[in-house]
Amino acid sequence: MSECNSDNRNQVASLGCGTLILIALIVIFFGGSDTEQLQTDVANLREDVAALRDQQAESHRLLETLILRAETP
């Protein structure tokens, strides 16, 4: 019986990355932090992601053009 109790004391809880992110979001949401700054940061990140998507699309178009030109004799 004492072996079982010592095993329980030695068990370690591990949290996944998603769980940690969820905990962080809950703390931010209910922590009364500066939500205006957070909203500004999120808006800036969305703009950056949109710009990166545009750049990626342009890169794909340029690559397709180069491939087509390389295939043309």
Q: What is the pLDDT of residue 9?
A: 58
- Locate the domains of the chain by residue range: 2-71
pTM score, whole prediction: 0.49
Q: Per-residue pLDDT tens for 21-66?
A: 888 888 877 876 567 888 888 899 999 999 999 999 999 999 999 9
Buried b / exposed e over 54-71, threshold 16 CB at 10 Å, is eeeeeeeeeeeeeeeeee
